[in-house]
Each structure stands twice: as structure tokens, then as C-alpha cells.
Copies of this chain bind each other. A is one copy, B any other.
Amino acid sequence: MCRWIAYLGQPTYIAEFLYDGPRSLCAQAQQSHKAKLGVHGDGGGLGWYGDQKCPGLYRNEGPAWADPNLRELTAQLKAKLFFAHVRASTGAPNTFVNCHPFRMNHWLFMHNGQIGEFGKIQRKLEQALSEDAYAAMQGTTDSELMFGLLVTNGLFNDPEAAIRTTLNSIRAVMLEQGIKDPFRATFAISNGEQIWAVRWSTDVYAPSLYQRDLNGDILLASEPLDSEAQNWQEIPPNSLVCLRRAAGAKTEIEIEELFDEVPHVRAV
């Protein structure tokens, strides 16, 4: 289980969201208020869209709160769209290739959640990867594999359809294998223009997701980054979120139901 933030708005220095205040992402990494695991010290990462189409990626397997390079980098970098992530491993080794965000082509993906009893179906899921997605895998996490399946299922052409197809297909394999542990998935995806985010689970514990409007810029976060709780809106479970921003305009957020039927009801 992890903590993450995603931002779309006016170009802004990244550091403030990671380091300022007692609930910043790196403060949460040391002491989370809402996460299953209190400490997120198994790596940190940043993906940001700068001048180039392809985003930059910074990933380090040590604790983000103690990483001097991440602090330096985010103090210098302004981005209109970035992802930042702190990791608490659910099993995969602490290596930079197992840290979020993941990148394929110019797309980014990061995740908080878990495929229940992943070991039982990892191989089957890998077999479903397209050749390109398989070749792009660098690590061994369930998260990166989910990203590969999203790409396999058409992410680059129709993100919303790919999201629904992928979640359903993973769930189908879990059901087929008799897995009873939940599949929890709160993740974000971007192509550098828009952000798609999902809060979802096959049980009633979909990992939390919040949004805050900062004068026209929008921040998504696993949990509020400051103590002004009234300024944060919880995204309900079973949501598909889309952030867009037209040139010169404010960032817009659209939240729709991800699935008509709630999976954990169907699963009974």
C-alpha cells in the first residue's frame, strides 16, 4: 500500500507538496493517518512533464523523506502535471524498477492497492500482455503488470475503456482461480495532457482518494496534504476521475461511476 499525489494546473514547484507541513507526502511516508501501513519507506518516485513529450522519471528505492536528490530536484522543477509516490512494499523487492511511477511511451502510471494473492495469478496475467507491454516490463510488481495490461487493452487509444476492461479481466482471473482476497486499485494515469484516476475495490475498502481545488489547479491525493480537511473532497469508491485543462483555463474535474454494478456486491 502506498501514498500518492497527482497534479494538473499552472506550472508550480513540486517541492511544497512533498515537504511542506506536517501532512506533506513525505510526512505521510513517515506517519500516515489513513493508510493500512503506517510507514512508506520502500522507495519513492516522481514523474513530471516538462518541455518534452516524454515525461522525466526519478525513482529511488530508499525512503523519500531522506532522499536529498528528490528534495533538490523538486525544489528546482516546475511542472504543470506531475505524479509523486511513496511506497510500502507488499512483497516485491525494494529496487528502483519496482518504484512508481511507471512509464511506457509518454504515459505514466502509479498505484495504491493490491491484487489479492498475486503470486497465484501473476503468470497467467503476464501471459495476457502484448509483446510490446511484455518487453517494457522492468520490475516484478503487480502494479507494473497492471500498467502493462492497461497498455495491452488499448490505453493509448481509449483510456476509459482500457481501464474497465483491465479491471474486469484481472477480476475474472481472480474469480476463476478462486481467490477470495480483494483486488484494490486506486491509481492514476496520464499522457501529459489529462489525468485519469480510479478509486475502486472488490471489497468495501477501496483505498482512499481525495481532491483539492487550488484556485483553478487540481491536486489528487491518497489523503489530504494539509489539515484543512474542509478543503478536500473525498472521491467516492467506484469512481473514474478525469482531469483536463484547456489552454488559459482552469483545471476541470469530472467524476463518474466506474462500473454500473459495484463489484463487491456482484462477487457475493
Which A residues lie at the B interface, using CB under 8 A?
30-31, 38-39, 41-42, 48, 50-52, 56-63, 65-66, 68-69, 72-73, 75-78, 89, 93-97, 119, 123, 126-127, 131, 134-135, 137-140
Question: Hey, which chain B residues are within 8 Å of A51, CB to CB?
Answer: 76, 78
Q: Is the CB of B56 within 8 A of A75?
A: yes
Q: Is the CB of B73 within 8 A of A58?
A: yes
Q: Is the CB of A72 within 8 A of B58?
A: yes
Each complex incorporates copies of this chain amounting to 4
Counting chain B CB atoms within 10 Å of each CB, which of A63, A72, A123, A126 scores highest? A72
Q: From DSSP, what is the main secondary structure of chain A's interface residues? A: mixed
Residue contacts A-B, CB under 8 angstroms, 21 given: A31-B39, A38-B38, A42-B66, A50-B77, A56-B72, A56-B75, A57-B68, A57-B72, A60-B69, A61-B62, A62-B94, A66-B89, A66-B94, A93-B95, A93-B96, A93-B138, A119-B135, A123-B131, A123-B134, A126-B126, A140-B140
Question: Hey, which chain B residues are within 8 Å of A138, CB to CB?
Answer: 93, 140
Q: Is the CB of A76 within 8 A of B52?
A: yes
> Residue on B with the closest CB to A31?
B38
Q: Is the CB of A68 within 8 A of B50?
A: no
Q: How far is the CB of A143 from chain B (nearest CB, A)?
A: 16
> Residue on B with the closest CB to A50?
B76
Q: Is the CB of A39 within 8 A of B50?
A: no
